[in-house]
Amino acid sequence: MIAQHIGRFRGNALLRATTVAVLTGLLAGSALPARADAPHGDPSTDRRRLAELVSGDGFPAALAAVRGRQGRTSDLTAGVGDLRRRTEVPVDGMVRAGSNTKTFTAVVVLQLVGEGRVRLDAPIEDYLPGVVRGDGIDGRGITVRQLLQHTSGLPDYVSGLGDFFAIRDTHYETRELLGHALAQKARFAPGARWEYSNTNYLLAGLLVEEVTGRPVAEQITRRVIDRAGLRRTYFPAPGERGIRGAHPGGYHAATSGAPLRDLTDFDPSWAGAAGQLISTPRDLNRFFTALMDGKLLGARQLRQMRTTVPAPGTWPGARYGLGLFSTPLSCGGLVWGHGGDIPGYETRGGVTGDGRAVTVAATSLPAALPAPEAAAAHVLDFVDRALCG
């Protein structure tokens, strides 16, 4: 997720991944409050629920792709794509995908594990010697697995970035961002508990670059985006501030309930391998489906990815694997995915074992709205209801 928490779920961390569903996550299942007591299973019902995110919660726009058990996808939109010009929301429009990027990065690391070039339980020191050092921080005691699973104890660099309107045109190098994290004290001893930190995935990106000798953006593109056939997903080029294809505007406010301001265009370098990707609802469904179907990882690596630990402080039943959340559905079973929070956009969604998939994107973070906790819960509730239809 990246925003520093975003709603009630921790503070405000840009890429957090659920609001870390809230830090960036997926849905809170039956524990979330229901909105309308409408029947499941038809696009008109999903469309009505999506419209409630705009009319009831105040998101400028929302868009979704919902694939049912029979494999048919419905593309839905609500609200306006531009608050000033009152334009329509593009169907399957491009959005900043935030911490969904972490799953892409984790896939590349796990592919390197499968190739014998990285060991999950080796210390990050083996690949980035001398890089991970600080107050209570020592890369010799932090494993690759702990980075991918957010059990490293590393502090989050996002807290040191300040106001996002102020830094919107600032370009950051990864090691500069890492410096913001390493200037802080370790949160806990490696492996002692789970706590979401975008810093883990900055290091995962550096690991990929060190092992392959190539930029992480290139590796994500070649190994994941191209292999999964994602035609409208890309990693922004250095210095690229806009969004290339048809997209709704993204809006942000420094405090809850303040007037929303356009934050569609900015330099996303601060997000890096933790949250820089741009994608669409359909492409995110396609990615998570390909991943769960074993098209991107070998069986052993996928099993490691799906081996989870509790993710306290997120939402009921949430567990975290290696760059992947699992969440119980109100109708039974699990949904697998991630989600993303980045100023201007929030995405939630995932896939089930029987082929259902949903991604919903809203064009503001809940934290910017008058009732942030309710807004965050309603986005998650949309995912649960769409999958349980």
Residues involved in catalysis: 99
* Residues 6 or more apart in contact with residue 81 via CB below 8 angstroms: 61, 87, 88, 89, 90, 93, 247, 248, 249, 363
CB 316 within 8 A of CB 32: no
Structure token pair of residue 229: 């056939």
Name which of 199, 188, 198, 193 is nearest 131 in CA terms.
Answer: 199
Beta bridge partners of 2: 15
In the chain, what is the straight-line distance between the N-terminal and C-terminal CA atoms, in Å?
Answer: 27
d(Cα 12, Cα 5) in Å, to the nearest integer? 3
> From CA 197, how far away is CA 182, in angstroms rounded?
12
- In b/e form, how buried is each residue of 316-327, taking b as 16+ CB within 10 angstroms? ebbbbbbbbbbb
Question: Phi, psi (5° rounding) for residue 139?
Answer: -60, -15
Helix 174-182 and helix 199-212, axial crossing angle in degrees, nearest 10? 140
Q: Is 82 helix (H, G, I), strand (E, B) or coil?
A: strand
* Distance (Å, whole) CA 83 – CA 105: 33
Q: Which of 324, 376, 330 is nearest to 350 (CA)?
A: 324
Give alpha helix (H) positions in 130-235. 144-149, 174-182, 199-212, 216-220
Q: Are 359 and 281 in contact (CB under 8 A)?
A: yes
* DSSP element (H, E) containing 348: strand 345-351
Torsions phi, psi of 82, nearest 5? -140, 120
- Exposed e or buried b per residue across 81-98, where buried means at least 16 C-beta atoms within 10 angstroms of its C-beta: bbbeeeeebbebbbbbbb
CA distance 118 to 124: 10
